Structure 1
Amino acid sequence: MAGMRSTNLQSEVKQLPLIQLPSCSAGMQGAVQMRVKNPQTSADRLSQSKSMVLQDSDLPPRPLSRHRRNQSQHMSGAAGIEPLVELKGEHLNVAKISEGGKKQRKNWSSVWTVLTTDQLLLYKDKQETAFKPGGKTDVVQLCGAVIAWTSEKSSRKNVFQVTTNTGNEYLIQADNYSTASKWYDAIRKTVDASTRDNKGFPLQRSNSSEHLPRHSSLPGHGAASPNTKRQNPAHRRSINMFSSSKLKHSASDSADKNGVKNRLKKFMVRRPSMKTLQEKGIIKDRVFGCHLLTLCKREGTTIPKFVQMCLDAVEKRGLDADGIYRVSGNLATIQKLRFMVDEEEELDLDHSQWEDIHVLTGALKLFFRELPEPLFPFTSFHPLVEAVKIKESKVKLQTVKKLIQQLPPPNRDTMKLLFSHLHRVLAFSKKNLMSTQGMGIVFGPTLMWPELDTGNMAFNMVYQNQIVEFILIESREIFNISGK
């Protein structure tokens, strides 16, 4: 009986089916399978072993980092950069100052400006939109462009410059700073984004692996290629070689600069003084641009010789020329005359090349404008302005006369000769059509100006003209000129 029971029990065990264990969780269902040891091929065992590895589709999604820098690494191209701001139209003042590297005349014009993803469209009018192809006045390509604020290219405020990669330069301006700043920021972001799109993705950090395939070391993804491993050290070596050569080059440059500095220092120590150069005649004092006191001291007079020669020549030609001292002479001829005077060449103002009387009057006015300190010294400017404000004519006359008498002899004597000459010019006012007011306008800013122009220029010019006009009217009393 015992033998029969054991035989029946063994037969029942052989007939029992395989029992499969339930999965641990619903999320991991199908990821792990029970393998019953049974005689199978090696290929079947390999396929069952691969089923133990989680595939890419089975992995839970990786959360993005909230850090701005890390978040940008998960995004490719320009999408990871700041979002572009498209401004759909506004009136701005635009001036094109260069085209293809060639400078152009700066002409400001109010244009309807539209910013796209890679261009700045300029329309003559708001109605001339992209629906009219001929309506665009200009298209500014922003890829590879440079944008910067500028205060040197224009006297206007809130001006920035856009330079394209083809050499075109534009000045853009808005009366409101907030408007100009808004457009500047938007164009700058567009320039950065469009340039980056055309030149590739931004450089990744050296320790970043965002662009590497995930689980590259796992079966089915393939290992890193040996070429890549060989390229990285070579790439590093090329960078090191470039940086080392750059360092050597900068070191040699610094050594050359130090050598140049040392030679310059030795030269500056051994250089002759200004007095020695003047005594040898290497450096000569000019006539135009020389201080009045220095020039008169060098010539041994109280009136510059050139001023005396000009006034004599003008009176010899005649004082009835139409617009005398108001009409400008030929500038090239005036500069030629100035060069001859500065080089101390023999000068004959009766020569035919100086026959135009306006050349002589223009050269005389240029002489007074080129003085480092005007004929009316800086110290007398404000006292004369206060004196001309006096309402009582006698007090005004005595105050102005006293101030002029206190001037240095070269200033006073040259002033006396000039105003006496101008007084004789006004005697022919019916023919030359010049008046005391016209003379004041011509000679006011020529004979006097403040040392520091901190006030209003128009305000100063009014008093400059009034002072010269008053001295012209009262020249006989102020300079004690005879009634001849």
Structure 2
Amino acid sequence: MQNHSKPPPLVLPPVPLRVKSTKGSGERLSQTKSMVIPDLDSPQKPINRHRRNQSQHNIAQGVQQIQPVLHGEYLNKAKICDGGRKQRKNWTSAWVVLNSSQLQFYKESKQEVVANLKPGCKPEGVDLCGAIVEWTREKSSRKNVLEIITRSGDEFLLQSDDYPIISKWHDAIKRAVDRLSSGDVGPGGGKATIQRASSSECLPRPAYESTKPKAKEPKSENRRSIIFKLNYSASDSADKSGVKNRLKKFISRRPSMKTLQEKGIIKDRVFGCHMLTLCQREGTTVPRFVQMCIKEVEKRGLDADGIYRVSGNLATIQKLRFIIDQEEELNLDDVQWEDIHVITGALKMFFRELPEPLFPFRFFDQFVEAIKTKEDRQKIQVLKKLVHNLPRPNHNTMKLLFHHLQRVLTKSRQNLMSSQSVSIVFGPTLLWPELDMGNMAVNMVYQNQIVEFMLIECLEIFGPEAK
């Protein structure tokens, strides 16, 4: 038999694998993914799969994500303005997270949000770039209130009863705003850079601009700025009828506010004017309107049922107020002022709208401490001393009013008004604290007690009424 030996196996030369060039990660890959030896030491970057551009461009390196400054905490939040339009203040509890460039508000804590958040649902965010952060007392009666105003015109209030907590948030948000304003932080939290498409060179990005619309600038009332806008308007060429020219002449010849006041066209108000300013303008120590109302009530209203307690028609009261503010001739004997409750309502409105109450702010705590004195004789002496130290317009007006209210009490059987009911009406009307620190109910008790005690001891505190 003939031996047939098997031919040796055919050995193919190894195919050299082309290794990805280390000169730059932006060069095109000439082999398929399976023919490239991966670099196990460096993290793999995704390859652009766009059909028209198969090249992988280098992404800016060195971008470091800044971790949230504060991971989260429950704070009270209210949005009072949306794009420059005011909204009703509605306080809600929110889980607040501060990232490098924005605040985020969640309804629940972060763990609950991750478990319950629906796909596509995003938390409410506040862009801090160009924002203003400051403490505020005017926007809310609550204590420890922080106000945030964004470039888009949104306004948020943050509040916590614990001052160290809200102070910590104030400092952290302030630092984030300052860092963003300096241009050192981009939208992603790192150094903002731009890369050319054809090279790996990184260029510094201009100052980060938010895609949100900027807040509208307040309209200037300066006459010169209005004329400037009219002069350089782009539509001047289309002004064939000369409307803008006539408008510019009218504005340039318009008299100033001071001239209008000197001619008596624009008059200073009576309601809402400071007591001292009003008395200096009228040359008296008791405002004329107060004297007029008290005289009319004593003339025909001491016997009226529920005097000062019953409210008059608000529209008629506002009409009376308008006449007084315009310093027009006023005759309270006119038939349109026949309802005595309209006059008492206007008098109470005058005291309520004072920028500083009849009992000045700096005396409020002293009156409260005085009314806490247990011994009546000592209490009278302390209150008498406080009243004596009041500014003269406040002292004389208070003396006239309390003597008048005491005469109202002499007719208590007819008008059914007791010292307690009068103090309930005039307590919050004549004195209130400058800053309400959440003790409204307690303050109201002291307000009523002060007025009632001074009303009962009117002669001892103020002395006899001047003839």
TM-score by length of 1: 0.49
Sort the Cα spacing of 1:140 and 1:162 in 2 relative to 1 into closer, same or farther, 3 A.
farther
1:211 aligns with 2:201: yes
Determine helix, strand or coil for the equivalent of 2:135. coil
* Aligned 8 A contact 2:147 2:155 in 1: no
State the partner residue of 2:193.
202
- Map 1:36-435 onto structure 2 (within 5 A): 77=59, 80-85=62-67, 91-99=74-82, 102-112=85-95, 120=104, 122-124=106-108, 129=113, 132=116, 139-140=123-124, 149-152=133-136, 157=144, 159=146, 161=148, 163=150, 171=157, 176=165, 177-178=167-168, 193-194=186-187, 202-203=193-194, 211=201, 287-288=270-271, 304-315=287-298, 316-317=300-301, 319-322=303-306, 324-326=307-309, 329=312, 332-369=315-352, 393-394=376-377, 397=380, 414-427=397-410, 429=412, 434-435=417-418
1:439 aligns with 2:422: yes
2:452 maps to amino acid: E
Fraction of identical pairs, as percent: 50
Deviation at 1:368, TM superposition (A): 3.9
Structure 2 runs not aligned, ≥5 long: 1-18, 26-56, 203-223, 229-254
Deviation at 1:413, TM superposition (A): 6.0
* Cα offsets for 1:308-344 (capped at 9, x unmatched): 331243341454433x434555555434322212333
CA distance in 2, matches of 1:59, 1:406: 87
* Cα offsets for 1:93-141 (capped at 9, x unmatched): 4434445654432323223467899994734577864565659986336
Query: Normalized per residue, which structure has more helix?
Result: 1
Sort the Cα spacing of 1:192 and 1:460 in 2 relative to 1 into closer, same or farther, 3 A.
same
* Aligned 8 A contact 2:127 2:150 in 1: no
Determine helix, strand or coil for the equivalent of 1:80. coil
Determine helix, strand or coil for the equivalent of 1:82. coil
1:80 maps to amino acid: G
Determine helix, strand or coil for the equivalent of 2:78. strand
Deviation at 1:473, TM superposition (A): 0.9
Determine helix, strand or coil for the equivalent of 2:124. strand
2:193 maps to amino acid: P
Cα RMSD of the aligned pairs, angstroms, is 6.1
* Aligned 8 A contact 1:121 1:138 in 2: no
Determine helix, strand or coil for the equivalent of 2:123. strand
* Aligned 8 A contact 1:129 1:136 in 2: no
Aligned residue pairs: how many? 350
* Cα offsets for 1:71-110 (capped at 9, x unmatched): xxxx964652222436887544443444565443232322
* Aligned 8 A contact 2:97 2:104 in 1: yes
CA distance in 1, matches of 2:294, 2:464: 20
* Cα offsets for 1:398-420 (capped at 9, x unmatched): 67668868989876665454223
Deviation at 1:363, TM superposition (A): 1.8
Deviation at 1:347, TM superposition (A): 1.7
Sort the Cα spacing of 1:359 and 1:80 in 2 relative to 1 into closer, same or farther, 3 A.
farther
Larger Rg: 1
* Cα offsets for 1:214-262 (capped at 9, x unmatched): xxxxxxxxxxxxxxxxxxxxxxxxxxxxxxxxxxxxxxxxxx99xx9xx
Sort the Cα spacing of 1:282 and 1:110 in 2 relative to 1 into closer, same or farther, 3 A.
closer
* Cα offsets for 1:262-292 (capped at 9, x unmatched): xxxxxxxxx99x9x99886567665446676
Deviates more, 1:396-405 or 1:412-421: 396-405
State the partner residue of 1:32.
none
Sort the Cα spacing of 1:476 and 1:128 in 2 relative to 1 into closer, same or farther, 3 A.
same
1:81 maps to amino acid: V
Deviation at 1:360, TM superposition (A): 1.8
CA distance in 1, matches of 2:358, 2:128: 55
Deviates more, 1:466-475 or 1:388-397: 388-397
Where relative contact order (Cα < 8 A, 6+ residues apart) is larger, the structure is: 2
Deviation at 1:449, TM superposition (A): 7.4
Structure 1 runs not aligned, ≥5 long: 1-54, 62-74, 213-255, 261-270
* Cα offsets for 1:21-79 (capped at 9, x unmatched): xxxxxxxxxxxxxxxxxxxxxxxxxxxxxxxxxx9959899xxxxxxxxxxxxx96465
Deviation at 1:422, TM superposition (A): 1.1
* Aligned 8 A contact 2:412 2:418 in 1: yes
State the partner residue of 2:218.
none
2:337 maps to amino acid: W
Determine helix, strand or coil for the equivalent of 1:340. helix
Determine helix, strand or coil for the equivalent of 2:348. helix
Sort the Cα spacing of 1:107 and 1:195 in 2 relative to 1 into closer, same or farther, 3 A.
same
* Aligned 8 A contact 2:261 2:267 in 1: yes
CA distance in 2, matches of 1:412, 1:377: 11
Determine helix, strand or coil for the equivalent of 1:149. strand
TM-score by length of 2: 0.50
CA distance in 2, matches of 1:377, 1:158: 25
Deviates more, 1:424-433 or 1:371-380: 371-380
1:105 maps to amino acid: R
State the partner residue of 1:469.
452
CA distance in 2, matches of 1:430, 1:338: 31
State the partner residue of 1:36.
none
